Structure 1
Amino acid sequence: MENIMDEKVLLLKEKIDQADAVIIGAGAGLSTAAGFVYTGERFGRYFSDFSRKYGFRDMYTGGFFPYKTQEEFWAYWSRYIWINRYMDAPKSTYSDLFQLVKGKDYFVLTTNVDHCFQKAGFDKKRLFYTQGDYGLFQCTKPCCRKTWGNEHMIRDMILAQGYTIGEHNELILPEGTEAKMSIPAELLPKCPNCGRPLTMNLRSDNKFVEDEGWQTAAVEYEVWLTEHRDRKVVFLEIGVGYNTPGIIKYTFWQQVYQNKNATYVCLNMEEERVPEEIQAQSLIIGGDSAEIIKGLVS
């Protein structure tokens, strides 16, 4: 089995080396592989107080908990945003991926909202974050098609809970102290335009703001696809599931079907089936994406 895996990784490296261009389609599984897990030790380190009080055992569940006050809601969410957006990923997976494609004509399409691509060195003009960004706020109404960077606001919320922030943006709780589970009312984020509460710029309903940056990225993505329609392109899908398959997976299948010079590659924990029409153009590799990517650049 290991020999088969090695052969597939070598074939993938060859495909990328020989390609005119590479488009990466990244889902939540890539960030999970990079160490951004929402359960276990990482959850306990930052949310054990919330877990004791309310009984949930993972960050995702805590994000939907009906907190009684906005002060408590934002205490939870400020920690959540900080560790999943402003702290670096525990593993070098995104940096390894950048090393793999930085000399190529590349583009990135992702449903992830943790900003890991840009932090790893990817050109922001070659990135399309379709579902938003933990680092942006928008009006809850919304009153306008604008977003606002939230790092300073989130930092103030974190500090108000008793944390300090380390050299690598890690959260540090002074020994012998407990974090506060609410923030002062004056730190609640308000829309600079209308004064209503702000919320995360994450796609969850029809109120999601597709701001100027989002619109520009959408156009750049379509232009890139058009310019590479008949070229030798590797469609590299990593960690994509079936929550929103139409954004990456089905689009990649369709593009490869229409371009006989293209190759569809899927990296996922489990090997997946592909449509019969593109099987001859496909390479499916099951396993730990972080290890596979590291093997490609070693």
Structure 2
Amino acid sequence: MLSLYPRCAELIDHADGLLITAGAGMGVDSGLPDFRGPQGFWGAYPALGRARIRFEGIASPAAFKTHPRLAWGFYGHRLTLYRTTVPHEGFSILRRIGERLTNGYFVFTSNVDGQFQRAGFDEQRIDECHGSIHHLQCLEACANEIWPADDWHPAVEEEHCLLTSGFPECPNCHGIARPNILMFGDWGWVDRRNAMQSRRLNAWLNTVEHLLVIEVGAGTHIPTVRMMSESQRGRLIRINPTEPELGLAEGVSIAGGALEALRGIEQALDDRQVQGAQS
């Protein structure tokens, strides 16, 4: 793997813009679960495991209608977890790499955890394709409105994964609010916020001549991020411990975790800079 890092550094030095694409594996080194398979999901949420409720079953608008305290128990716990999790050093490494390029960086992520914002990335340079747990909308989508969840602090009884505090309310109809996240079987997601993010991303892509994509922790089960990475005209650095294959894309494949690989890339960049100064 060591020999791959100098090639990554070379690709970075020839780029003028960095597109960071990230899936659930990006947060593993921060201690966040990635819900890989039913057993991984049930290990993180044993109450749902005992009830044999799969991720697809609780991550749906239907769950908020039939079992709202259970659905908000799951999402309320996640909201608190994401609010208190410190992003690992790999986030800062990616930001430093992007900031050294002429056109900077943009982030495209399926993660709803807001970790890129917590790590100091520019809010205007992030596209959250599945929405954000830090924003709310009406469960019935009574209006095309989205608002921050900052003022809502859920209390969750973790043994049974149940919300014990009051529900967040829609300010228009006063019904139950839900996370502004694209869920399974979801026809009511208000995508206005993400549509604006996507327009900014597309405008930025049009300014970049020599694009480099660094993809971290994006699997094939929900392939949104991988498809985005592979649809770009630039080279791709794919970091994934179990599914690192590049397919038809050109670039570098690293079979490893996010933090270890990003540290290796940054060290190779530093070494390349020293060698350039000495030559």
| TM-score range normalised by the length of the shorter chain | 0.7 to 0.9
Figure out how many residues of one structure are paired with residues of the other and give that number. 256
Contact 1:71 1:182 in 2 (8 A): yes
Say whether residues 1:255 and 2:232 are aligned partners: yes
Q: Is the 8 A contact 2:41 2:54 kept in 1?
A: no
**Partners of 2:161 and 2:211 in 1: CA distance:** 51
Q: Structure 1's 28 and 72: CA in aligned 2 closer, same or farther, altered over 3 A?
A: closer
Give the 3-state SS of the residue equivalent to 1:6 in structure 2: coil
Query: Does the Cα contact within 8 Å between 1:24 and 1:109 map onto a contact in 2?
Result: yes
1:116 and 2:93 correspond: no
Gap runs ≥5 in structure 1: 164-177, 257-261
Q: CA deviation digits over 1:164-211, x for unaligned, max 9?
A: xxxxxxxxxxxxxx9995414xx1122101122111111121211112
Q: 1:58 to 1:23 in 2, by over 3 A?
A: farther
Whichever residue aligns with residue 288 of structure 1, its letter is G
Secondary structure of 2:133's match? strand
Q: Is the Cα–Cα contact under 8 Å of residues 24 and 34 in structure 2 kept in the other structure?
A: no
Mapped to 2, the partners of 1:189 and 1:181 lie a distance apart of 14
Task: Please state if 1:208 is matched with 2:189.
Answer: yes
Query: What is the match of residue 50 of structure 2?
Result: 55
- In the alignment, which residue of structure 2 is the partner of 1:8? 4
Report the Cα distance in structure 2 between the residues aligned to 1:143 and 1:149, rounded to whole angstroms.
Answer: 17
What are the within-5 Å matches in structure 2 for residues 1-298 of structure 1? 5-37=1-33, 50=47, 55=50, 60=55, 63=58, 70-83=68-81, 85-89=82-86, 91-104=88-101, 105-153=104-152, 155=153, 157-158=154-155, 181-184=162-165, 187-204=166-183, 205-211=186-192, 213-228=193-208, 231-245=209-223, 247-256=224-233, 262-270=234-242, 271-275=244-248, 278=249, 281-298=250-267
Q: Greater shift after overlay, 234-243 or 120-129? A: 234-243
Q: Which runs of 5+ in 2 are unaligned?
A: 268-279
Task: Tell me if structure 2 keeps the 8 A contact 1:202–1:208.
Answer: yes
Q: Which is further off, 54-63 or 88-97?
A: 54-63
How far, CA to CA, are the matches of 1:42 and 1:29 in structure 2?
Answer: 14
Give the 4+ runs in structure 1 shifted more than 6 A. 39-44, 65-68
User: Aligned equivalents of 2:51 and 2:161: distance in 1?
Assistant: 18
Match of 1:259 in 2: none
Q: CA RMSD in A?
A: 3.2
